[in-house]
Amino acid sequence: MGGTVYHAYRSALILTLLVAACGAPSTGVQPMDATPADGGPIRFNPREISAESRDCGEPGGKCARIKVNFPETTDGGTAAVRENIDLFIEHDLVSRMRGLVPEDVGNGIGNVEGLAGAFLAQFRAFVAEFPDATAEWFVEIAATPIYSTSEVATIDINETAYTGGAHPNSRRRLVSFDLATGQLLGVDDLTAEFAELTSLVEHHFRIAQGLESDADLAVAGFWFPEEGFSLPDNVGVVSDGLLFHWDAYEIAPYSMGPIDVTVPVAELAVLVDRSYW
């Protein structure tokens, strides 16, 4: 949200926002001793939290909507691993929702339901301050399990939000959990051959973008560091290999959209522990 709009209705928001606050959740997954996963793949039940402003559906009504879909572990793995996964998802959703309301409001609310109420109160304050505004606000967050074995579970978290401006903003996050430890898997956890993996991902990136192996990435419109191609922080273990993701604006203009690159399992054999497939 632009700074001008934010300051214009900040005082009205603080006066009108009466949402019950809860304590802040854990700031991340908890360290655990490495123990074998003993219950097979993690299984999940879907949950949904949704809310909308009171005038949605009314002719000419000002409307804001929010919908959050997320999984909750049921069985599989170990109880400690399931708890870590649930804690991570809860923390991630709360952090995303806090980013949609003023910091001094969001920091005092520790659950998605309360932050959804804060978002709607923010919209009411905005409409009161700018009654001629016509655009609807919305937030859609979906955390979806996309790969689960006895070794790993991967969650795909997608967020799209609009609170004014030229277009909605979208973010995607891939998170994979090692079921022996409950910890997140980053590139350094997947391979010791970082340079080789980077070269392999670049090869597939260039193919996906229709670029020759020696094409200048900056000339092609990409914003990589001066030293050249680099991996994103966003990587997930999926059924057919490793999926690397860059959000729109991350390495290229918005018009180029988000970018995904998948490196097939067969090409990862000498680089990554294949027990994940």
Between CA 23 and CA 19 the distance in angstroms is 13
Q: Judge if 61 and 161 occupy the same domain.
A: yes
Between CA 71 and CA 52 the distance in angstroms is 21
Q: Judge if 151 and 97 occupy the same domain.
A: yes
pTM for the full predicted model: 0.83
Question: CA angle, corner 107, sides to 103 and 108, nearest 5?
Answer: 130
Determine whether 68 is exposed, middle or buried from the number of CB atoms within 10 Å of its CB (0-12, 13-18, 19+).
buried
Which of 123, 155, 178 marks a domain boundary? 178
**Residue 204: how many CB atoms within 10 A of its CB?**
17
Can you give the pLDDT at residue 269? Answer: 86
Q: Judge if 116 and 203 occupy the same domain.
A: no
Can you give the pLDDT at residue 7? Answer: 38
Assigned domain for 35 exists = no
Between CA 246 and CA 98 the distance in angstroms is 22
120: phi then psi, degrees, rounded to nearest 5? -70, -35
Can you give the pLDDT at residue 38? Answer: 52
156: domain CATH number?
A: 3.30.565.40
Which of 150, 178, 206 marks a domain boundary? 178
The sign of the dihedral angle between the CA atoms of 191, 194, 195, 198 is positive
Q: Which two tokens stand for residue 42?
A: 């993690």
Q: Judge if 210 and 73 occupy the same domain.
A: no
Q: Judge if 165 and 203 occupy the same domain.
A: no
Q: Judge if 231 and 121 occupy the same domain.
A: no
Q: Which domain holds residue 145?
A: 3-29+40-178
Which of 135, 161, 178 marks a domain boundary? 178
Can you give the pLDDT at residue 58? Answer: 83
211: domain CATH number?
A: 3.90.640.20
Can you give the pLDDT at residue 4? Answer: 37
Scan for tokens 């994103």, then name that residue.
232
Give the residues of the chain that fall short of pLDDT 70. 1-38
Q: Which amino acid is at 162?
A: Y
**Residue 146: how many CB atoms within 10 A of its CB?**
15
